[in-house]
Structure 1
Amino acid sequence: MRGLADQKQSTSGRERLPSGGSEFLGMLAGLLRRPRRGERKLPLIWLVRAEGAPDLVSLLRRILGRGQRRRIPHAVLDAPAADRAARHEETRAARHDEPRPARQDDGTRPARDDDETGAADSSPLDDNPPPGDRPAAGTDLAVALRTVYRQLSLEAFGGERLRFRHYPLADWLLHQAPGEELDAGDRRRTLVRRLRDRRGRHLADETTGGGPEDAVATVYQFAFWLVRRAIPSIVFRVAISGRVPLLGQHYRWFMRQQYLAPRQSVTFLGFAERLTAGWRDGEQPDQVHKLLVHAFLEDLRQAYRRRFWRPGSWRRTAYPILLVDGVTPGDAGHALVRLVNDVRNETGRNDPLLVLVAATAPPPELPEPYPLVDAEEAYDEWADVLPETRRLRRAGAWLIVLALGDPSNGSEPRGGTHNFTPPRPPWWSRRFLPAAVCLLLLAGAATWVDSRWSVDCHPAAPLGAAVSVEVVGGECVGYSDSARHVFNRDPGQERLRAVQQRIFAQNAAAEQVWERSDRRRPFLTLVYLGTLTGNRTRTDEESYVSEREELEGMATAQYALLQESAGADGAALLRVVVANGGHQMRHAGRAVAMLAELARDDPTVLGVVGLVDSRTSTALALRELNRIGLPAIAPTLSADDMDANSDLYLQISAPNRDQVAMIDEYARQVLRVDEARVYYTTGENSSLTEDLYVSTMLTGLRQRFGDRLGRVEEWRTGQRLTEECGYPGLLLFTGRWSEFDGFLRALKECGADPPRHLVANDSANRYMANPGLRASAPGNLPVTYVSKAGLASCASLRAARERRDDVRGSFLTWIQADDLLEPPRCRDGDDTPVGERVSLAYDAATMMIRAVEGLAARLRHADPRQRWNPRAVNPLGVHTEVLRQNAAQGFPGVAGPIQFATDSGEPVAKRISLLRVTRVPDVATAPVEVFHCGVGATSPDQRCRPV
C-alpha cells in the first residue's frame, strides 16, 4: 500500500467512495460522539482495501484535522513508516556506536540515562535478533505505540490535553540499564535515584506546564511541590510504597494489574527492576507487550473517567481515534490490534479508544470481511455477541472486518456533511462557571447525603472492603462484605443485623486463615441476594425472619469451614457478600448490575444464593445473572419453570407442581374430601402477572383438581369470609404470607364454626416462623401448612446423629455452638427450632463449596502443596462440577437428598411435608408433621403418605 504522502496526493481531488462509504462515515461519526451518560464499547475496525479502492484513512485524516477550535483527538500511524523508523533507530545506534550491552534473548539494550520520556534510540521490545536489516516485531511495536502516545498527548485538539502517567513510566523503565557490572544493591540504588529524579521532573512539568487548571488543583500542585522540595526522599518512598491514599496511585496500579505477576515482586521497586535491561531476560515478551498496551489504555481510561470534582473529564465529549494505515497481517500494526484485543479480553475493562485499520488483506482472526455497505449490520452483530466472545477470550472478539469495494457504483465523498465535530460540553463544565458549579455540587451533595442518611445508605466503602450501595426507590440497594455497612436499621430487626455482623466477622476470620495457610486452601465468595428492606413493621416486630434464617444458613456453612484443621489444605474457605434486592425483589436488576462489577473485579466470586421471591423481577435478575455467567442457587424458590430463565440456575426446594400434588394426595388420603376452594393474594402493590409463585400454583391447582375446584378467588384486605364458616371441604390459602394474618382475622368471624380443613401453602411458613406475628394471631384456628425442610427439625437431627449420619449430625453440632447462632438451636432442654430456611441455605452454600473443593483436588493432583489461584476456576466450571457431582450420587442435604434432572435445574422427588398446629398463637408448641412426599434421609421411597 502507498504511504500517506502518496495517498494524500491521490485523494486531493474528488474521488468516489464505494457503496456504503458515506453511511460508514456517518456510523463512525456516531461512534466517536461520547454519550452524556454511560460509555460506549468501541470496536477495532479493520478495512480491507482492494486495488483501486479509495483511501478512507486519508479522507478521515483531512476531516478530523478540520476545525478552528474543538477537534476529535486522533493519531495517525503509518505501519510501513513505523517499520522504517525502527530500522533507522537501529542504524543510527550502530553508526554512533553507542554503549549498550550485548543483545539478549529479548533483544534489549538500554537507553541513555537522560532519556526521560522513554523515547530512546533503541526499543526494549525486540523479541529476537532482527533478520537482515529489518528490526524485530517488538521494535516496530514500541516505535508505533510511542508515536501514537506523542500524537495524542499534544495539546492540539482544542481542549485539555490527554495526560499519560502509566505508559511513559513503563516505557521509561524498559529503557533503563542501571549497570550490569554493579551488584544487586547498587543496581537498586541507581534505579531509585533515577526514579526519584524522573519523578521530580514530572512533578515540575505538571506544576508549571500545560493549560489553565482549576484553582484548587493549582494550589494542590504548588503545595505538593513545596513538600517535595522539603522532604524529597521521604515523599518519594511514601509514594512508591503504595500504602498512602492519593500518593503514588500510578505506582500502586502496576502492582495491582495482572501482567508479569507483579505480586511476586512484593514491592514496586522489585517489579520495576524486573523491567530494566539485563533483568528482563526471563520474562515473556508477550507479557511485556501487554503491560505496555494495558498501561497506555489505562491512561486513556483515567483521562475519560468522569468525576464530579474534575470538570475537565466532562469536557471530553468525543472519543479518541487511532488510524493505522498500510497494515499487513503479522506486522507491528497487526500486533498492536491483537494486543489491544487481548488486553480488553483479559482485563475485562473497556477503554475509550476507537481503532481503524487499513490493510490489503483481512486479519487471520476473521478472514471473511463484511461488505462496507453492511457496516451497520456488522456493528450490530458484533455488539450482540461481544459479551460472549470477550468472556471466551476470542482472538477477534473486538474486531469488525469490512471490505472496501470498487467505488464505480458508489457516491461522492460527503465527509463535510457528517458531524465529526465534538459535541459541546455541558454548560456546567465550562471554565467560566466554576463558582456556580461548586455551589450546585455542594447543594446537590448536601441533598444526596441527606437522602442517603435518611435511609442509612452509605456509598463510601472502607479500605479493603467490598461495599457498593445506593438509594433506589427509597431503599438501600447494593452489597456489602463489611460491618461498615449493615443492611436494615429499622427497629425490631436486631437479629437480622446480628447475623450480618456474624458473617462479616467470619469473612475477616476466613481471610486471616487463608493467609496463615500460605493461601493453599481454596477460597471462594458467594453472594446472598435477598429482600432486606421495605417491609412495614412494628417497632417490636421481627419482619425479616426468612431472610435472617437464610443468612444463618450461610453463616453456618462458613463457620463449619473455619473449624477445619489448619493443615487441611483441601478444605475451602468461604467469604459471604450480603446483597439487597429491595422489597419483593423489585430492585434485583440493579443489584445484579452492581454484582456484575464485583464479579468482574474479584475472581473469587463464584455464585449467588438466595433470591427469596418468585416474581418477574427475580426472573429478570436470573436472566441477567445468566448473561454475566454467574450461577444462582435458590434455597426456597419454587415457582414452576424458574430454571427456564437461566442455564446456570439450580433450586433446592421442590417446584410448585410437587406441592400441589402433595396437597391433592393429602385431601384424598387423609381428609377424604373431593371439593376445594382457593383464595390467593399477591402482596402489596403486586399483581398475579408479576407474582410467578402464586400464578404457577394456581395453574397447577386448576390442572390437578379440575372440576373439584369450586372457587378460585383473590382475597383482599377487609373482605369477609363468613360464607366459608363450617365449610367441610379443603379451604386452601395460596397467597403471600404478608396477607395471611388478615386472612385469619377474616375467618375469626366464624367463631365456633370455622372451616373444617384450612391448609396454607409454604409462603405461610414465613408467617409461622415469626413468633411475634403468631403470638398475636386472631382466634384459635388449627392450620396445616407446607414445609420444605421437615427433615431438619431438632428431633430429626438428633435421630440422624444417633445413627451416625455425618452430614446432618455435623450440622446439628454447628447450630448448637455458643459462638454462631443467637440463640443456639436444638440444645438439650431448649428446643429452639432450627428455622425452615437455615438448612436449605446451608445446603445451597455447601453444594457450591463441595464443587470448588472437587475442582481444587483435581487441579492439585500434581502438586498438593501449591497455592490456590482464584483464577484457576470460574463460575461456569463450578456450576458444571455441581452437576457432575450431583449426577454421580446426588447431594446428601440436611433438608433431604437433592437430585437434579439432567435437563432441569429443579430437584426430583425432593422431600416436602405438611405440618400442623392446633392453635396458631401457641408459639411454645412445635408443629407436628402429618404428611410428606419425596425421598427421605433413610428411605428411597418417594410416595406421598401420612406420618
Structure 2
Amino acid sequence: MRESTAQEQQPTPGRDPLPDGGLDFLALLARLLRRPRRGDRRLPVFWLVHPTGAADLMSVLRRLVGQSPHRRVPHAVVDVRTLPEGAGLPAVLRELHRQLCVEAFGAERIRFRHYPLADWLMQQSLTFGVEAEDGRSALVRRLRDRRGQGMTGEPLAPGGDAATVVSQVLFWLVRRAVPSVVFRIAVSGRLPVLGRPYSWFMRQQYLAPQQSVTFLGFAERLTTGWRDGEQPDQVDKLLLHAFLEDLRQAYRRRPWRPSEWRRTTSVVLLLDHVVPGDQGHRLVRLLNDVRNETGRNDPLLVLAVGAEPPPEPAVVTPLADAEEAYDEWVEGVPEARRLRRPAAWLLPLEVGVPDTGAQTRGAPRGFAAPDPPWWSRRFLPAGLCLVLLAAGGAWVGTRWGSGCLPSLSGQVKVELVGSECVGYSDSEAQVFNDDPGQDRLRAIQRRIFAQNRAAERAWERSGKRRPFLTLVYLGTLTGNPTREDEESYVSEREELEGMATARYALLQISAGAPGAALLRIVVANGGRQMRHAGPAVRMLAELAREDRTLLGVVGLVESRRNTAEAIGELNRVGLPVIAPNISGDGIGSRSRLYIQVSAPNTEQARLFHEYARARRLTDAHVYYTTGEGSSLAEDIYVSTLVADLEQRFGDRLARPVQWQPGTSMARECGYAGMLVFAGRWSEFDGFLRALQRDCANNPPRNLVGNDSVNRYMANPQLRRSAPGNLPVTYVSKASLATCAVLRAAASSGRDEPRATFLRWISSDDLLDRPRCTPGGDQVGERVSLAYDATTMVVRAVESLATRLHHGDDSPRWRPEAINPVGMHAEVLRQIDGDGYRGISGLLRVDVDTGVPAQKRLAMMRVERVPDVADEPVEVFHCGVADTWRPDPPCAASTPATR
C-alpha cells in the first residue's frame, strides 16, 4: 500500500484491463452486488486508479453488470469527459435519473419521488413583471399542475333547473374544489400518506428547512433567483440526498410491498475518466459528505475509474489486495463516518498493467441478478391461497413422495422429478435411493452425514480456528433398473467412499492443529444419466448463495451432454468442478472452473493403439453402446472415444458397430485382432453373453474393454453370473491404487501417502466393508480418484488459509475469506510444474482446459470374469507414475512398474 499520489503511467495497448487480482476483485464486486437476505451492507466508493491509455477497464465493469439475459443489475454509466462544459451536479444527477428510472433491468423500475421534485423546483423561475401574479400563487398552481390536479373545469352556466344546478355544483366540486383542498392538505404535511414527499423536505437537514415554516416557503427558496443566497454546497447536498432517499425507499423491505423484495442487487454507478476536481470527483466528495452527515446507508455502489488517485488522504491498495482492503474498510468506516473524515467512504485501488495475458484468463462474463423470493412474484393473487389449499394434497404427491420429503433439519432441498428424487442433502433427513439392493449406497451416505456432524463439532472445539469448507458430491444416485440383490451404483458409492476417506483423515487430526481443514460433504442427485442435473444445479446455486463455505462440486460420473450442460451451469454460478472419473473429450469446455483427474479419451485411444502394437495386433473391431434411452450424439464419452479410436487406427479399424441385444457376433468367432468394447458398462453383460452364445467353442482371442467396463468389474453380483470362459482386458484409471500396489508401498516404507491411504480404507470405523484386508474387498478404482479430487481442494484451502492468517494473532476462520474462484486458482497453482502426487498417480493439468497430461492409464487383465476374489493383473500402461516426464513411453507392466 502507498499514500495516494498522482502518477502518470504509460499506456499499454492491447492488454487485458484486469491484471493480478482482477478476478478476485470481480468476485468481490459480485458479492457486494448481491443484497443480503436480511438488512443491507455499507457500500464503498471504489476509486480505480487505472493507467492512462490502457485497455478499457470500464468495458469489463459494464459487462459484469450489464450482460445478463434476464435480470440485470440496475446501473448507470457516466463518462465525465462527455459532460457539457460547465455542467454541475444537477446535470450529472439528471443523467443518472434518466438511466435508472427506465424499466430495463428485468424488474420494476425505480420510482423517484423526492429527487424529481427538488430538481423541478430548481428549474422554476418566479420572477414576474409589474402585472404578473404573485410568485407564491404561481408556484402553487404549477405544483398542482405537476400533480395532474390543475384542471380548472368549465365555468358554471347561469340558469337552468334545480337538477342542472346541483349537477354543475357537484361537477365543480369534483373537478376543482376538492383537488385544491387535497393539495393544500398534502403540502401542509398533515396527512402522512398524501404529504409524504413534501414532509420529507421539512424533516431533512439541508438548507435549514424549519426557517421556512411551510413546504411552500421552502420550495420558493429552491427556485431560480431565490436560491442565489443559499450555499451552493448545501443545495447540491440536498439534491443528492433526495436522490439517495429515493433509492433507499425503493430498496426498503416491507412485508406488504412484495415489489421491494424483488430488488436482489445493489444499484451501480460507473464513473469513467474521473479527474480530481471535476464533476465526477465532486459527486464522489458530496456522496461521502451526505453519508457522513445524514448517518444513512444507501444501496448505491460507485465505481470511479481514473488515471490519477483521489486527492483525499486515502491509502491506495493494489487490486490484488482488494478483498483484504475491503474487510479493513468495513471495520473502520463507523469511526471514520463518526469523525466525518473526507475519505470515510473512499476505497482507492491501484489497477496495474499485467505482464502476460495468462494472468487474466477466464474473466467472468456477467453478473446475473439473483431470483427474488418466491412469495414476491407479481402473479400471486390473494386467491392463490384458496387454490393451494384445494390442490395441496395433489401437489405434495407430485412434488415429493415417499423417501423424498423436505426437511427442516440440516441443509436439505429435494423435489420429485419424474419418479426420481432430485436435490441435495447433508443429513440423514434425506438419504437418496430406497431401491432394494442399494444398502451400501445408503450406508456410505449415512456415514458421510454422521461425519458432517463430527466435523462441525471438531470445528467448534477448535474455537472455529480451523479452515472449514463444504464440497458437493453430484452424481447419478437413482434411476437404474436393478434386481433386488444387485448393487447398481458401485461407481457412485466408491466416489462417495473416496470423499469420506479424505474427510476421515482430516477428522483424525488434533483440534490443536489450526491449519488443518475440516470438510462438510453435501450429497446431490442429478438423476439417471444426469438427466435432471439442471434442477439439481439450480438448487446448488441457491445453496452457494446462502452458504459461503461451499467451494466446489466433485463427481458428475458420466460424460454426457447433460453433464456438460451441468458443468457449464455450475461455471455460470461460480462453482468449480473437480471430476474424478469423467473423461469425454471437451466435456469441460463450457467451464473456466473445471479440473479433471482422469486422462481424456484421446489418451485412452492411444493406450489401445500402443497395446495393439505391442501385441502385434494388426487390426481391430469396435462395438459401442450408449445406454438405455440415450443416443450417440448425447453420449460424449462413447462418441469421442469411438472417434479417437478411428483416428488412431485409421484403415486398420473396421467401421464401428453399435451393438444392441440380438446383434449377431458370429463374425467375431476366433477373431485374432483386437475386439474392442467401447460402450457403456450397463450393456457389457449382454455383450459377453452374445459372444458366449455365438462363439462358445471359438471365442475371440483378444477382448479388450474401455474404462467403463471397470464399473462392471467392480460389481460382484454381475461378475458372478457372467460367462466364465472369456478372459477380459480392460482399461483402469487407477492401477496405482490397487491393493497389491498399496501393500507394496506400505511394506517398502518409501510411499507414506499410499501407506496412509491403505491404513484408512482398512480401518474398521470408516467403510462398511474394509478394503485390502485378508479375504476382504478390493479397494475400488474410483475410491482413490475421488480421494485425490477431494484432497487437492483441501490442500488448496489449507494453503490459502495459511497465507491469510500469516501474522494474525487471532486466526479465527472467516468463511468469506476464500471464494470458489480463488480455490480453483490455488489448486491449479499447486498442481502446476511437477504436478500433484495423488494416490491414483501423478496429476498435471493444462491450466487452460483443466485436462490432465500424461496421466497414468493401464490395461488390467482377468482370466475369468466370475472369479471375484482374484485381483486383476496390470499388463500394460501409458503415462507417468509419480515423477513427471514430458513424454513417457508406453510399455508392458512388470511388478517394478506397477
TM-score range, shorter chain: 0.5 to 0.7
2:660 to 716, 738, 742: 716
**Counterpart position of 1:625:** 570
State whether structure 2 residue 74 is matched by structure 1 residue 43: yes
1:876 to 821, 824, 830: 821
CA distance in 2, matches of 1:63, 1:786: 60
**Counterpart position of 1:340:** 299
Q: CA RMSD in A?
A: 4.4
CA distance in 1, matches of 2:659, 2:598: 26
**Counterpart position of 1:520:** 465
1:197-208 mapped onto 2 (5 Å cutoff): none
CA distance in 2, matches of 1:908, 1:56: 54
**Counterpart position of 1:238:** none
**Counterpart position of 1:808:** 754
CA shift, 1:556, in A, is 0.5
**Counterpart position of 2:387:** 440
2:115 to 77, 100, 104: 77
CA shift, 1:688, in A, is 0.9
CA distance in 1, matches of 2:378, 2:850: 50
State whether structure 2 residue 828 is matched by structure 1 residue 790: no
1:590 to 518, 535, 542: 535
Letter aligned with residue 810 of structure 1: T
**Counterpart position of 2:620:** 676
Are 1:73 and 1:320, in contact at CA under 8 Å, matched by a contact in 2? no
CA distance in 1, matches of 2:247, 2:260: 20
Letter aligned with residue 905 of structure 1: G
Cα 1:507/1:61, change in 2 over 3 Å: closer
| 468-477 or 515-524: bigger deviation | 468-477
**Counterpart position of 2:765:** 819
Letter aligned with residue 814 of structure 1: W
State whether structure 2 residue 429 is matched by structure 1 residue 429: no
CA distance in 1, matches of 2:266, 2:511: 53
CA distance in 2, matches of 1:878, 1:321: 28
Q: Deviations over 1:255-277 (max 9, x none)?
A: xxxxxxxxxxxxxxxxxxxxxxx
Letter aligned with residue 447 of structure 1: A
Are 1:471 and 1:477, in contact at CA under 8 Å, matched by a contact in 2? yes
State how many pairs are aligned. Answer: 642
Q: Secondary structure at the match of 1:913?
A: strand
TM-score of the superposition, structure 1-length normalised? 0.61
CA shift, 1:645, in A, is 2.3
1:154-233 mapped onto 2 (5 Å cutoff): none
CA distance in 2, matches of 1:387, 1:320: 18
Cα 1:132/1:562, change in 2 over 3 Å: farther
Q: Secondary structure at the match of 1:879?
A: helix
CA distance in 1, matches of 2:630, 2:640: 15
**Counterpart position of 1:303:** 258
State whether structure 2 residue 607 is matched by structure 1 residue 662: yes
Are 2:462 and 2:514, in contact at CA under 8 Å, matched by a contact in 1? yes
CA distance in 1, matches of 2:763, 2:237: 62
Cα 1:873/1:441, change in 2 over 3 Å: same
Are 1:677 and 1:711, in contact at CA under 8 Å, matched by a contact in 2? yes
Letter aligned with residue 813 of structure 1: R
**Counterpart position of 2:874:** 929
Are 2:414 and 2:422, in contact at CA under 8 Å, matched by a contact in 1? yes
State whether structure 2 residue 682 is matched by structure 1 residue 738: yes
Are 1:674 and 1:729, in contact at CA under 8 Å, matched by a contact in 2? yes
1:329 to 255, 258, 283: 283
Cα 1:776/1:62, change in 2 over 3 Å: closer
Are 1:788 and 1:912, in contact at CA under 8 Å, matched by a contact in 2? yes
**Counterpart position of 1:529:** 474
CA distance in 1, matches of 2:497, 2:98: 65
Q: Deviations over 1:557-615 (max 9, x none)?
A: 11100100111111111111111111111122222222112112211111111111111
Cα 1:321/1:709, change in 2 over 3 Å: closer
**Counterpart position of 2:13:** none
Q: Secondary structure at the match of 1:837?
A: helix
Cα 1:813/1:342, change in 2 over 3 Å: farther
Q: Deviations over 1:636-692 (max 9, x none)?
A: 11112334222211111111111111112212213x210110100011111111111
State whether structure 2 residue 729 is matched by structure 1 residue 698: no
Are 2:490 and 2:715, in contact at CA under 8 Å, matched by a contact in 1? yes
CA shift, 1:718, in A, is 2.1
Q: 5+ unaligned residues in a row in structure 2: which ranges?
A: 1-68, 122-196, 214-229, 269-278, 304-321, 327-345, 348-361, 371-376, 894-898
2:716 to 771, 792, 797: 771
CA distance in 1, matches of 2:626, 2:892: 30
**Counterpart position of 2:14:** none
TM-score of the superposition, structure 2-length normalised? 0.64
CA distance in 2, matches of 1:640, 1:621: 16
Cα 1:938/1:824, change in 2 over 3 Å: farther
Q: 5+ unaligned residues in a row in structure 1: which ranges?
A: 1-37, 65-69, 97-130, 153-295, 307-312, 348-363, 366-384, 392-396, 399-423
Cα 1:335/1:766, change in 2 over 3 Å: farther
Are 1:87 and 1:135, in contact at CA under 8 Å, matched by a contact in 2? no
Letter aligned with residue 75 of structure 2: L
CA distance in 2, matches of 1:487, 1:62: 48
2:651 to 703, 707, 710: 707
CA shift, 1:456, in A, is 2.6
**Counterpart position of 1:293:** none
Are 1:469 and 1:476, in contact at CA under 8 Å, matched by a contact in 2? yes
Q: Secondary structure at the match of 1:600?
A: helix
Cα 1:789/1:602, change in 2 over 3 Å: same
Cα 1:865/1:299, change in 2 over 3 Å: same
State which structure, 1 or 2, has the greater radius of gyration over its C-alpha atoms.
2
CA shift, 1:484, in A, is 0.7
CA shift, 1:799, in A, is 1.0
Are 1:607 and 1:875, in contact at CA under 8 Å, matched by a contact in 2? yes
CA shift, 1:297, in A, is 4.0
Percent identity over the alignment is: 53
CA distance in 2, matches of 1:341, 1:777: 68
Q: Secondary structure at the match of 2:563?
A: helix
Q: Secondary structure at the match of 2:656?
A: strand
Cα 1:659/1:39, change in 2 over 3 Å: closer
CA distance in 1, matches of 2:434, 2:239: 60
CA shift, 1:140, in A, is 7.9
Are 2:506 and 2:517, in contact at CA under 8 Å, matched by a contact in 1? yes
1:847-866 mapped onto 2 (5 Å cutoff): 847-863=792-808, 865-866=810-811
1:110-129 mapped onto 2 (5 Å cutoff): none
CA shift, 1:832, in A, is 1.5
CA distance in 2, matches of 1:63, 1:809: 65
**Counterpart position of 1:945:** 891
Cα 1:734/1:863, change in 2 over 3 Å: same
**Counterpart position of 2:131:** none
CA shift, 1:719, in A, is 1.7
Q: Secondary structure at the match of 1:752?
A: coil
1:179-578 mapped onto 2 (5 Å cutoff): 296-299=251-254, 303-304=258-259, 329-330=283-284, 331=286, 339-342=298-301, 388=365, 390=367, 429=381, 434=383, 437-454=384-401, 456-458=403-405, 460-463=406-409, 465-578=410-523
Q: Deviations over 1:881-904 (max 9, x none)?
A: 111111243111001111123443
Letter aligned with residue 753 of structure 2: V
Cα 1:40/1:565, change in 2 over 3 Å: same
**Counterpart position of 2:699:** 754
Q: Secondary structure at the match of 1:429?
A: coil
Q: Deviations over 1:604-629 (max 9, x none)?
A: 11111111111111111122222222
Are 1:75 and 1:321, in contact at CA under 8 Å, matched by a contact in 2? no
Q: Secondary structure at the match of 1:889?
A: coil
1:644 to 583, 589, 597: 589
CA distance in 1, matches of 2:858, 2:655: 25
Cα 1:305/1:748, change in 2 over 3 Å: farther
CA distance in 2, matches of 1:149, 1:875: 31
Cα 1:662/1:865, change in 2 over 3 Å: same
